[in-house]
A = this chain, B = another copy of it.
Amino acid sequence: MSRDDAVLKALVDFVAHESLAPGDRLPTERILSERLKVSRTTVREALTRWEGLGLVERRQGSGTYLKAAVSRDMLHLPLTLASGNDFRSLMHTLEIRRGLEAEAAALCAKRAGPSELAFIREKLEAMEESFHRRDGMSSEEDWDFHQAIYQASGNPLFAQIIAAMHEMFHRFWEHPLGVHDFGHASFPYHRTIYERVAAHDAEGARAEALKLIATVEADLKRGAANLNLPGLT
């Protein structure tokens, strides 16, 4: 077994022994290197692997933070998709998102307890407040709302997959295709999704989520048509 694989195994044991949870900060690289009897270089190589797998986040000047639960038997699925930044690829990712968003909303309606509902409602109201104040969608508050849904779905895979796709969307989400009022049409569906979730109406929540993505899709198509974007079919 190579050295830094051993380090990763030791790190798993360490996290288990100290019962570290997502969000916790792990020891500094220097301390780890001393405690595991390897050089800091090797520790860094191992942490780089974990960072690539999304298990850990490093912040210069601050520390290294656990992003997800780790256990000894984990399966890593590095999925890399060749996907351009043209309109067609963007639409493909949106279709994936539609499938996941609908399912996440349905599961959320089934499983969300009072505390999860309160959290979602909080994010919803923050988004609505921001919308009325600035007369437009805030991509950040919008993202927070959806993340709350994914979290309450009880299935961590949703958040993981969508987070990875969101990164791709990110550059477009800021000023997508130059359309200023992008996402305007999707606004009301956030509340309807919440209402269906709060009523524990799984199929209703699924339907509202589908409507929301449909408005985004329409906006995207409109923007692409205006700009003659490459890949437009």
Chain B residues in 8 Å Cβ range of A99:
99-104
Of the candidates B74, B75, B81, which one forms a contact with A157 in the assembled complex, judged by CB atoms under 8 Å apart?
B81
Partner of A77, one of B41, B51, B69, B161: B161
Contact A81 to B75, CB < 8 A, known contacts A45-B44, A52-B49: yes
Q: Which residue of B lies closest to A104 (CB)?
A: B99
Residue tally, chain A, CB below 8 Å to B: 50
Q: Whose C-beta in chain B lies nearest to the C-beta of A50?
A: B52
- Of residues 79 through 99 on chain A, the ones whose CB sits less than 8 Å from some CB of chain B are 79-85, 89, 92-93, 95-96, 98-99
Q: Which among B78, B81, B96 is the interface contact of A52 at CB below 8 angstroms?
A: B78
Q: Is A37 positioned at the interface, with any CB of B under 8 Å from its CB? A: no
Q: Are A68 and B80 in contact (CB under 8 A)?
A: yes
This protein's copies in its complex? 2
Q: Is the CB of A155 within 8 A of B95?
A: yes
Interface string of A165-209 (1 = CB under 8 A from B): 101100000000000000000000000000000000000000000
- Residue of A69, A75, A160 most packed against chain B (CB within 10 A): A75
B84 touches A80 (CB 8 A): no
Q: Which residues of B contact A157 (CB under 8 A)?
A: 79, 81, 83, 92-93, 95-96
- Give Cα distance in the complex from A71 to B104, angstroms: 31
A84 touching B73 in the complex, CB below 8 Å, given contacts A48-B49, A92-B157? yes
A18-40 vs B, CB cutoff 8 Å, 1 = contact: the mask equals: 00000000000000000000000
Taking the complex as formed, is A134 at the interface, i.e. its CB lies under 8 A from any CB of chain B?
no
Does A54 interact with chain B (Cβ within 8 Å)?
Answer: yes
A158 within 8 A of B: yes
B52→A165 contact, CB < 8 A: no
Asked if A156 is an interface residue, CB under 8 A from chain B, the answer is yes
Inter-subunit contact B102/A100 (CB<8 Å): no
- Residue in B53, B69, B74, B158 whose CB lies within 8 Å of A96: B158
Q: Does A164 contact B (CB under 8 A)?
A: yes
**Chain B contacts of A82 at CB under 8 A?**
69, 71, 73-75
Question: Does A216 belong to the interface (CB within 8 Å)?
Answer: no
Task: Contacts A75-B165, A92-B156, A96-B155 known; list 7 others, CB within 8 Å.
Answer: A49-B52, A71-B82, A77-B80, A79-B160, A98-B103, A99-B102, A102-B102
